[in-house]
């Protein structure tokens, strides 16, 4: 029996009368993670992982009814038993496990299996049906070892410092930016963060995640400037217009996106699973049915079907994220 169905507002669980990451306001919304496209305001009640509540309120405001659920702790909603489990995507990101009458469904949300000091480690789950993301659902997306990519970021920054110019690094402001800030070496030079990133940093620090110290004001020394991709060309960025530019994202695996943005460098760093990780996670769930949820789920669905699985495409109405 299907525990979930795709309604006009998103994934719906009839047994518990709640939605997961709905794209319109609903009665009760379970939120996998605090990226803006998942956090539609206007629902009567929200449920999210305890460590993600403060981040979610950045979008929903202080008045919204947000209920915190610690990872692993079951909650009965109507006829369904619901629990949240780390997804490794950003701080407080969760897979939603739903159980009813011995049937288990898991909705992954966005996830990453590689360790990240800025988020809780991904927890593999067993289920009969698995609803997976597929942001990078093509075999060209294969991440190099993360420490290698982070080393090249630092090497680029150091070389720029030596050449007397600043380095502007574009990254998803919630998740990837903090991932970088846990690793960047402040002894190379001052680090600045765009206000759109600093806005989230405080919630990370409040939960004891150690981020590199930020320099308060530009003092003319070559600096590393972290900024959201949407800031390319905005007024805050103007003072860095002579800088070398780069982006940290899974999209940097291919040359086209880097060239279209006229960036000097692209670093392959992602908060999402790459193709091998998607396949490994799907395998490890031992799910009989896989729902692939994305704007373009087709290749992964076809691959799974050709490899003997029952797989269904679920076209999601989420935005494409930059990570």
Partner 1 sequence: MKAFAELYRKLDETTSTNAKIEALTGYLRAAPPGDAAWAVHFLIGRRPKRLLESRKLAEWAMAEADVPEWLFADCYHAVGDFAETIALLLPASPSASDAAGRPADPAADLPLQYWVESRLLPLAQSDDATRRARLIAAWREMDEAQRFVWNKLITGEFRVGVSQNLVVRAIAALSGLSAGTVSHRLMGDWQPSAAFWRQLEAPEVAEADISRPYPFFLAYPLEGDVEELGDPAGWQVEWKWDGIRAQLIRRQSSVFLWSRGEELMTGRFPELEAMAALLPDGTAIDGELLPWKDGAPLPFAQMQRRIGRKALGARILADVPVALMAFDLLELGGQDVRERPLEWRRAQLEALAPRSAALALSPVVEAASWEGLRAVRGESRARKVEGFMLKRRGSPYRVGRRRGDWWKWKIDPYSVDAVLIYAQPGSGRRASLFTDYTFGIWEQGKLVPFAKAYSGLSDEEIRAVDEFVRRNTIQTFGPVHAVKPELVFELAFEGIQLSSRHRSGIAVRFPRMARWRHDKRAEEADSMDTIRALLGRRES
Which letter does DSSP use for residue 319 in this model? P
306: how many CB neighbours lie within 10 A of its CB? 9
* Near partner 1 by CB under 8 A: residue from 145, 208, 233, 308: 145
**Residue 122 Cβ vs partner 1, minimum distance, rounded to whole Å:** 20
* Near partner 1 by CB under 8 A: residue from 192, 258, 272, 294: 258
* Interface with partner 1 in residues 90-129 (CB under 8 A): none
**Residue 274 Cβ vs partner 1, minimum distance, rounded to whole Å:** 11
Does position 267 bind partner 1 by CB under 8 A? no
Place of tokens 């360790």: 115
**Residue 218 Cβ vs partner 1, minimum distance, rounded to whole Å:** 23
Between the alpha carbon of residue 269 and those of residues 2, 86, 89, 209, 216, the distances in Å are 36, 20, 12, 19, 26
Q: What is the DSSP string of 26-57?
A: -SEEE-S---TTT--TT-SEEEEEGGGHHHHH
In the complex with partner 1, the residue whose CB is nearer, 81 or 142, is 142
* Near partner 1 by CB under 8 A: residue from 165, 261, 265, 309: 265
Helix axes 195-206, 53-60, angle to 10 degrees: 150
Does position 140 bind partner 1 by CB under 8 A? yes
**Residue 139 Cβ vs partner 1, minimum distance, rounded to whole Å:** 6
Instruction: Count the residues of the shown chain that bind partner 1, applying the rule CB under 8 A.
Output: 22
Binding region for partner 1 (CB under 8 A) out of 51-59, 71-79, 100-108, 136-144: 136-144
Does position 57 bind partner 1 by CB under 8 A? no
In the complex with partner 1, the residue whose CB is nearer, 140 or 206, is 140
Does position 262 bind partner 1 by CB under 8 A? yes
- 185 touches 154 (CB < 8 A): yes
In the complex with partner 1, the residue whose CB is nearer, 65 or 298, is 298
- 178 touches 203 (CB < 8 A): no
Pick the closest to residue 171 from 162, 160, 183 (CA basis): 183
- Chain centroid to CA 83: how far? 19
**Cα dihedral angle (109, 208, 226, 267), rounded to 10 degrees?**
-60
Q: What is the DSSP string of 135-158?
A: TT-STT--PPPHHHHHHHHHHHHH
Q: Which two tokens stand for residue 321?
A: 């994220």
- 149 touches 156 (CB < 8 A): no
Does position 158 bind partner 1 by CB under 8 A? no
In the complex with partner 1, the residue whose CB is nearer, 63 or 306, is 306
* Interface with partner 1 in residues 281-300 (CB under 8 A): 298-299
Between the alpha carbon of residue 195 and those of residues 27, 215, 227, the distances in Å are 33, 13, 8
Three-class secondary structure assignment of 235-293? HHHHHHCCCEEEEECHHHHCHHHHHHCCCCEEECCCCCCCHHHHHHHHHHHCCCEEEEE
Binding region for partner 1 (CB under 8 A) out of 14-22, 95-103, 106-114, 140-148: 140-148
Does position 142 bind partner 1 by CB under 8 A? yes
Main-chain dihedrals φ then ψ at residue 130, nearest 5 degrees: -125, 125
Binding mask 65-84 for partner 1 (x = CB under 8 A): --------------------
Binding region for partner 1 (CB under 8 A) out of 92-100, 125-133, 213-221, 255-263: 255-263
Does position 306 bind partner 1 by CB under 8 A? yes
Does position 139 bind partner 1 by CB under 8 A? yes
Positions touching partner 1 (CB under 8 A) are: 138-140, 142, 144-145, 148, 253-256, 258-259, 262-265, 298-299, 302-303, 306
């Amino acid at each position: 029996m299907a525990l979930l169905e795709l309604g006009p507002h998103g994934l719906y669980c009839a047994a518990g009368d709640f939605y997961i990451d709905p794209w319109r306001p609903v009665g009760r919304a379970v939120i996998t993670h605090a990226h803006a496209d998942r956090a539609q305001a206007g629902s009567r009640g929200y449920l999210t992982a305890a460590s993600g509540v403060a981040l979610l309120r950045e979008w929903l405001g202080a008045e919204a009814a947000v209920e915190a659920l610690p990872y692993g702790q079951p909650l009965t909603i109507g006829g369904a038993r619901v629990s949240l489990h780390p997804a490794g995507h950003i701080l407080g990101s969760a897979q939603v496990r739903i159980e009813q009458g011995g049937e288990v469904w898991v909705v992954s949300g966005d996830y990453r299996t590689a360790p990240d000091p800025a988020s809780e480690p991904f927890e593999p789950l067993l289920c009969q049906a698995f609803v997976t993301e597929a942001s990078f659902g093509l075999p060209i997306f294969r991440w190099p070892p993360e420490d290698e990519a982070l080393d090249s970021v630092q090497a680029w920054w150091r070389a720029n410092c030596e050449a007397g110019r600043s380095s502007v690094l574009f990254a998803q402001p919630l998740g990837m930016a903090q991932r970088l800030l846990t690793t960047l070496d402040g002894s190379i030079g001052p680090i600045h963060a765009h206000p759109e990133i600093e806005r989230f940093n405080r919630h990370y620090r409040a939960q004891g995640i150690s981020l590199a110290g930020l320099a308060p004001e530009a003092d003319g020394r070559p600096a590393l400037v972290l900024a959201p991709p949407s800031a390319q060309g905005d007024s805050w960025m103007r003072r860095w217009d002579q800088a070398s530019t780069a982006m940290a994202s899974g999209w940097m695996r291919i040359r086209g996106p880097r060239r279209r943005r006229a960036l000097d460098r692209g670093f392959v760093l992602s908060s999402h699973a790459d193709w091998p990780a998607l396949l490994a996670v799907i395998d490890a769930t031992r799910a009989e049915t896989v729902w692939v949820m994305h704007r373009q789920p087709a290749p992964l669905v076809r691959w799974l079907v050709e490899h003997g699985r029952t797989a269904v495409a679920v076209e999601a109405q989420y935005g494409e994220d930059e990570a």
